[in-house]
Amino acid sequence: MAAAPRFAEILEVLSRHRVEFILVGGVAAILEGAPVSTLDLDVVVQPTPEDRERLLEALEELHARYLDPAGRHVVPDAGKLETLRIHRLVTDFGPLDVLDSIGDGLTYKDLTEETSSYELGGMTVRVLNLATIIRSKEAANRDKDRAVLPILRRTLRLKATPSA
């Protein structure tokens, strides 16, 4: 049985290397109050050459390798970070998906105004807001996204309701 993912450790390494990222997906939904679970950490990164260099250093520290059904040990490099849109990685601390965009092609730049800052273990992390998470999952329209949408929508409604 695999060890439980340690998402805080992944975030700490990314933050220490000053990688510009936005936390999206299930962990972001959890931080926004949704009672869901997730098996991986999803981030959208700033696509500058400097940030890709910092990301590569962080991924090296995490011993990141691509999730490969054939069992090959393929590691990220500058060329892959520049050309691939989705990086499904396994790290020492659990699965990490590094994305260029989500939903209908929303990039880091598109998402920056749709975030909140959270203090987590002494670091500040930008987290995508729940309404935008919902929109991105609607656009992705995958089975796993459709399954969680009712929970996310209900959580958003509850957050908008003033407490008595």
CATH number of the structural domain spanning residue 97: 3.30.460.40
131 contacts: CB under 8 Å, gap ≥ 6: 114, 156
**Measured distance between the N- and C-terminal CA atoms of the chain, rounded to whole angstroms:** 45
Q: Does some domain include residue 15? A: yes
Q: Does some domain include residue 159? A: no
User: What is d(CA 43, CA 72) in angstroms, rounded to the nearest whole number?
Assistant: 24
Supply the pTM of this predicted model.
0.92
Q: Does some domain include residue 164? A: no
Q: Does some domain include residue 161? A: no
Q: Does some domain include residue 160? A: no
Domain encompassing residue 92: 7-154
Please state the φ and ψ torsions of residue 33, each to the nearest 5 degrees: 105, 0
What element of type H or E holds 13?
helix 7-16
What string of pLDDT tens digits covers the 164 residues of the chain? 467 889 999 999 999 999 999 999 999 999 999 999 999 999 999 999 999 999 999 999 999 999 988 888 999 999 999 998 999 999 999 999 999 999 889 999 999 999 999 999 899 999 999 999 999 999 999 999 999 999 999 999 999 887 65
Residue 94 is predicted with a pLDDT of 95
Q: Which residues are registered as beta bridge partners of 101?
A: 107
Number of domains the chain contains: 1
Tokens matching residue 119: 């203090």
Work out the angle at residue 146's Cα, subtended by the Cα atoms of residues 149 and 119, and round it to the nearest 5 degrees. 45
The number of helices, as runs of H, and strands, as runs of E, in the chain is: 7, 9
Q: What is the DSSP letter of 3?
A: P
Q: What is the DSSP letter of 163?
A: P
Q: How many CA atoms lie within 13 A of 47 on its CB side?
A: 18
